[in-house]
Amino acid sequence: MKEIKSIIKTYDELDRNQKLALATVVRVEGSSYRRAGARMLVMEDGNWIGGISGGCLEGDALRKAQLAMFQDKPSLVTYDTTDDDAQSIGVGLGCNGIIDVLIAPLKDEPDNALEVLRRCTDKRQPNILITISHNEDGPEALYPGRMFRYESTEQLKAVLPEGAPVEALQEDVETALDRQKSVTGHYELENGGSVSAFIEFLTPTIRLLLFGGNYDVFPMVQLAKDLGRHVTVYANPHKLSRSVFQQADEVKAKEDPVEVDEYTACILMAHDYKTDLNNLRRLLQTEVPYIGMLGPRKRTNKMLDELAEEGITLSEPDEERLHSPVGLDIGALSPEEIALSVLAEIRAYFSRRQGGFLKHRSGTIHERG
């Protein structure tokens, strides 16, 4: 989501009279540095923001994007970096897969792809975005580059023109929602034509709530913002450094109400036993999926014993969402390293990963298919 927001910010600052094109990775087969959904906004002067690879494809995509702008015509480009030909794009640069990139001129319209993405950036639930990537003798309204947000079966029927593969698209949408993973669909039409679509599962920005106001809050906020997280700090505002106010999205008094959803992580880092205990007590009454506690396990166990005496016992789901000590075991010592450890664990949690060494992972880094 951070890349999308950066692209939209750049788009808002541009002169709308200049030509633009949006390059989107819509399918990956095999290995690729970036996954489906990676984007790159190209300006007619040759500048761009975002990326579709680790650097091996951007130059060629830039040239093809400028051609698309000149011709006012989208194209679906396939990069096969598995080819051993020394002249092939991507050879020797770590790529070893087949990558489909949709390159489409971006018009200054209320429903262009970036405007659709803009409407998704602040939503606190997963978005399903459908982007038409190929059209061969299909309905003209399903032109490559057209994007819309899926809301319901009824809305899908209303948005799509006559002759569109509504039922097949609906099935792939349900697959994406069930697997929580983007999919690519190819649909044969009754008239003999065909349409392809990228069905993107786009999650909200992870919201990070930090409870504490000591000096180690700042590196946690700074690194979290670099990762694109939405950060709220709960503390005594009078004791916080100015740098925290400059970096965090929100600063609230420590007793203010807490708003959470299924993409929220809370970190208790007040370094004051009673404060952390009070915050743990109230967070256990919410549905927040992730609660992290700085400090040794012995300290947390003491808190849990006190809560048990009050009649508050942890259920099995509570034990799953409570992470104490919080963070991955990387030998972190400094506040910056601790922040790295904690934020890496949060990324692993929401990615449904264990956070171990990739060298020990069986199979591929990213799920295939």
Enumerate the domain spans of the chain.
2-106, 123-202, 207-350
**The pLDDT value given to residue 86:** 44
Provide CB contacts within 8 A for 92, sequence distance 6+: none
Residue 131 burial by Cβ neighbours in a 10 Å radius (0-12, 13-18, 19+): buried
* Position 91 pLDDT exceeds 70: no
- 360-361-363-365 Cα dihedral, nearest 10 degrees: -120
State mean pLDDT over 345-356.
90
State mean pLDDT over 172-178.
92
State mean pLDDT over 72-85.
79
- How many Å separate Cα 114 from the centre of its chain? 16
ω into 325 cis (within 30 of 0): yes
**CA separation, residue 40 to residues 11, 47, 97, 184 (Å):** 11, 10, 19, 19
Beta-strand pair 207-211/264-268: parallel
User: Which range, 196-200, 201-205, 263-267, has the best average confidence (pLDDT)?
Assistant: 263-267
204 DSSP 8-state letter = P
**The pLDDT value given to residue 95:** 58
- Residue 284 binned pLDDT confidence (cut-offs 50, 70, 90): very high
The residue type of 366 is H
Beta bridge partners of 130: 148, 199
* Position 94 pLDDT exceeds 70: no
Beta bridge partners of 131: 147, 198
| Fold classification of 207-350 (topology level) | Rossmann fold (3.40.50)
- Separation between Cα atoms, residue 268 and residue 283, nearest integer Å: 10
- Separation between Cα atoms, residue 71 and residue 144, nearest integer Å: 14
Rounded (10°) angle between helices 297-309 and 273-283: 60
Contact in structure between 182 and 200 (CB atoms under 8 Å)? yes
Query: Could you read off the pLDDT of 217-261 as tens digits, one per residue?
Result: 999 999 999 999 999 999 998 888 899 999 999 999 989 999 999
The separation between the first and the last C-alpha atoms of the chain, rounded to the nearest angstrom, is 23
Beta-strand pair 20-31/39-43: antiparallel
Beta bridge partners of 200: 129
Per the prediction, the chain carries an average pLDDT of 88
Helical (H) or strand (E) element with 19: none
- Separation between Cα atoms, residue 294 and residue 330, nearest integer Å: 15
Sheet with 207-211, strands from edge to edge, namely: 250-252, 230-234, 207-211, 264-268, 290-293, 322-323
- Residue 110 binned pLDDT confidence (cut-offs 50, 70, 90): confident
- Strand spans (E) along 203-341: 207-211, 230-234, 250-252, 264-268, 290-293, 322-323
Percent of the chain with pLDDT strictly greater than 70? 93
State mean pLDDT over 8-17.
87
**The pLDDT value given to residue 159:** 87
Rg (CA), the chain: 23
User: Which range, 61-65, 99-103, 273-277, has the best average confidence (pLDDT)?
Assistant: 273-277
Percent of the chain with pLDDT strictly greater than 90? 54
**The pLDDT value given to residue 81:** 72
User: The whole model's pTM is what?
Assistant: 0.85
Burial 43-54 (b: 16+ CB within 10 A, else e): beeeebbbbbbe
**The pLDDT value given to residue 368:** 56
Query: Could you read off the pLDDT of 358-368 as tens digits, one per residue?
Result: 788 776 666 65
**The pLDDT value given to residue 87:** 47
- Residue 83 binned pLDDT confidence (cut-offs 50, 70, 90): low
Rounded (10°) angle between helices 335-350 and 217-226: 50
Residue with tokens 């034990």: 319
Query: Could you read off the pLDDT of 114-137 as tens digits, one per residue?
Result: 898 998 888 888 899 999 999 998
**DSSP codes, 112-152:** SHHHHHHTTTT-SS-EEEEEEEEEESS-TTS-TT-EEEE--
User: Which range, 10-19, 25-34, 75-84, has the best average confidence (pLDDT)?
Assistant: 10-19
**The pLDDT value given to residue 33:** 66
* Position 90 pLDDT exceeds 70: no
pLDDT higher at 357 or 9? 9
- How many Å separate Cα 329 from the centre of its chain? 24
**The pLDDT value given to residue 366:** 62
* Position 54 pLDDT exceeds 90: no
Q: By C-alpha distance, which of 82, 75, 33 is closest to 58?
A: 33
**The pLDDT value given to residue 84:** 53
Using left for φ > 0, alpha for ψ between -120 and 50, and beta otherwise, residue 111 falls in: alpha
Query: Could you read off the pLDDT of 287-330 as tens digits, one per residue?
Result: 999 999 999 999 999 999 999 999 999 999 999 999 999 999 99
